[in-house]
Amino acid sequence: MNVKKSRKDNRQNLLASSAIPQMSGKGVKSENDLRCQLMCCQDQFGRKNNRNHYGSNDHHEKRRQSIRFETKGIVVLTGFEEPVVANIYDIAPGGVSFVHADKKNINNVDLKMEILIYDSHTDFDYFIGQISGRGKFMELVSDPINKLPVWRYGVEFSDIDSPQHSRLQTCYSLMSYRRFVAQQAVMDNSK
């Protein structure tokens, strides 16, 4: 019999496994150690137990080469008659995906974006302005809350200069580290 486990159970099992060093006392020496362990945790958890809550988009999950974080945020696309404001679905160093109620043809179109990422659990917010990107895919999916159809879009970052690349990497590192610390606090409080 196949029993589904919740994400919390999967996360607890992964953190308790011997593949990841325990995060207590003398085992952690610096922030770099925490970040390395976080990346190990996210890599194992994200690839083995990735669950898409916007419908059955398994064909996109199989092609992913990088660790992606489901996050809250907004992206503003300029270059249309009116700016398009959409909710971010997930973000990675190479691109972003977002959902929007209206269908916009962005496949193979060069876009300019403003990205604001926020997380109420960790009091984290971060703004990245004037990012260039190119539309990669769009598909109709179901919103998990109200079950209405929405469009999910994927955009690959392109023509990123050094300061923009640095801001993206900083955002990604901060988001990873803060989320990991918050998860550890929850785990410690539940014991």
Contact 93, 106 (CB under 8 A): no
How confident is residue 27, by pLDDT bands cut at 50, 70 and 90? very low
Contact 151, 140 (CB under 8 A): yes
Domain extent for 136: 60-178
Q: How far apart are CA 107 and CA 150, in angstroms?
A: 16
Residue 6 lies in a domain: no
Residue 80 lies in a domain: yes
What stretch of H or E contains 155? strand 149-157
Contact 127, 115 (CB under 8 A): yes
pLDDT of 149 higher than 60: yes
Residue 110 lies in a domain: yes
Residue 78 lies in a domain: yes
Residue 71 lies in a domain: yes
Q: Using CA of residue 14, residue 20, residue 25, residue 31, what is the dihedral sign?
A: negative
pLDDT per residue as tens digits for the range 121-141: 667 778 888 888 888 888 998
Residue 17 lies in a domain: no
Q: How far apart are CA 115 and CA 129, in angstroms?
A: 6
How many domains would you assign to the chain? 1
